[in-house]
Structure 1
Amino acid sequence: MAGHSKWANIKHKKAAQDAKRGRIFTRLIKEITVAARLGGGDINSNPRLRLAIDKAFEQNMPKDNVERAIKRGSGDLEGVNYEEIRYEGYGIGGAAVLVDCMTDNRIRTVADVRHAFAKYGGNLGTDGSVAFMFKHCGQLLFTPGTDENALMEAALEAGAEDVVDNGDDGIEVLTDPYEFIGVKAALEKAGFKAEFSEVTMKPTSESVLTGDDAARMQKMLDALENIDDVQEVYTTAVIDG
């Protein structure tokens, strides 16, 4: 993969997240609430909840906010009942897009998502139309120059599935989504702190977009990200430029 791609896209995503910290709190509270509702409020037996709480604390969310979200999800406090929905579609040049939502109004959400796709030249697809082009996994990215052999040894010992050297894009460690927290903790203990890490839907192939196509695709992704009911947006597109 060319050096311009993964690192630039990850940095753009990180910058966009930092700029929307208030929205991140809202999304994390939804995720904690739903995770607690589906799997219970005990982080030791609910890896999804543990991951959501770790993310919340990484974003410096107050502990009281986290505890209230757990109680709402567990039924100890009243709250909105969110429904999880995934929309699939196509962007510029046929690039695949997954949009994960949590909503209390499915009709509003699908209208907003469809509008964002259509406005910038994409279109909403059917269930299963692009999901097969992504893999649910944990992903940790380490800066170029990281000692690959030492990282690989530590990662595989910690239970990682794969270690990929992307050259100028750094080194990527991939894990089972439910082993992500343990692998991340083991690597940090071994002295390897990831520049960026998350449980994600990783594209199994990518398409590089340049010029006007890249600009239109970025606008579409930003429009989707800005929908209140959207939790995450994943794409096979690599924006170059």
Structure 2
Amino acid sequence: MAGHSKWANIKHKKAAADIRRSNIWTRLIKEITVAARLGGSDPRLNPRLRLAIDKATDANIPKNNVYKAIQRGVGYIESLNYEEIRYEGYGLSGVAIIVDTITDNRARTVAEVRHTFSKHSGNLGTDGSVLFLFHHTGHFLFSPGMSEDKLIEAALEADADDVTTNGDGSVEIVCPPNNFSHVKAMLEARGFKAKFSGVIMKPQVEIEFTGNDAIKLQNLLSALENLSDVQEVYTNAAIIDR
């Protein structure tokens, strides 16, 4: 058993992110374009592209938009020259933050990220300054009330790495990033569809924030997530509503 209010915390964080991300289609189209450029246009041979297409489907992006994004990625349609850049920094009390971006203008993006950290009492760090505090992993979170024994059995059959039952009854499964699609398909074939899933940077240890500190930190995270070039923001902070 682990975690104090994992389900409530993640549910709150995901709901807030969905509200803020009015440009979610733009972000996913960028991800599809880059994934196709790096790994080819066949989602059966390109796990990253397959995952991006799944996200686009969940976000109700039309198939034609997805097709055009893939065509841009492999060079059949003219496209902006996107590049991926990861930034690392610190928030309140030195909490670790990772900001993943896709941009066609490196100078603009770093200026916006640095300004946002500074505006909210944070600091932009150097490469590797906080990355060691996270694991790159496939991650599934199932809501409380799920049949734990059957879920564990399904996870083992799918070759997942670990299953954790949190104190609030939610269940987490982790797996290697390159095995995410396989584990997802195996779990869903057994009738287990995660409420939240993806390939993420998972903190090794989380630091709880409450009260005014939680509000200040959430303001920084929200501001970073609202930047047009930002794809994902990860932190080892657990913001608790109390």
TM-score by length of 1: 0.96
Q: In structure 2, the residue corresponding to 1:179 is in which secondary structure?
A: helix
Aligned position for 1:88: 88
Residue in 1 that maps onto 2:115: 115
Structure 2 residue aligned with 1:207? 207
2:31 maps to 31
Match of 1:3 in 2: 4
Q: Is the 8 A contact 2:154 2:187 kept in 1?
A: yes
Alignment of 1:1-241 (within 5 A): 1-4=2-5, 6-20=6-20, 22-241=22-241
Matched residue count: 240
2-structure distance, mates of 1:48, 1:185: 15
Separation in 2 of the partners of 1:77 and 1:118?
A: 38
Asked if the contact 2:155/2:187 (under 8 Å) is kept, the reply is yes
- After superposing on structure 2, the runs of 4+ consecutive aligned residues of structure 1 that deviate more than 3 Å are none
SS in 1 for 2:7: helix
Amino acid aligned to 1:221: L
Aligned to 2:36, what secondary structure does the other structure show?
Answer: helix
1:66-106 deviation line (CA, Å, top 9, x unaligned):
00000000000001110100000011111100000011111
The answer (yes or no) to whether the contact 1:152–1:163 under 8 Å persists in 2 is: yes
Tell me, what secondary structure is at the counterpart of 1:126?
coil
The Cα of 1:199 is off from its aligned counterpart by: 1.1
CA distance in 1 between partners of 2:235 and 2:22 (Å)? 24
Q: Which amino acid aligns with 2:13?
A: K
**CA 1:35–1:63 in 2, change beyond 3 Å: closer, same or farther?**
same
- The one-letter amino acid of 2:163's match is V
The sequence identity of aligned pairs, in percent, is 62
- The 3-state SS of whatever aligns with 1:168 is coil
User: Amino acid of the residue matched to residue 104 of structure 1?
Assistant: D
Q: Does the residue aligned with 1:49 lie in a helix, a strand or coil?
A: helix
So what's the TM-score if we normalise by structure 2?
A: 0.96
C-alpha distance in 1, partners of 2:102/2:199? 17
Q: RMSD value over aligned CA atoms?
A: 1.2
8 Å Cα contact 2:84-2:102 kept in structure 1: yes
Where in structure 2 are there 5+ consecutive unaligned residues? none
Change over 3 Å in CA distance of 1:196–1:203 after alignment to 2: same
Tell me the secondary structure at the aligned position of residue 167 of structure 1.
coil
Once residues 17 and 123 of structure 1 are traced to their aligned partners in structure 2, the CA distance between those partners, rounded to angstroms, is 22
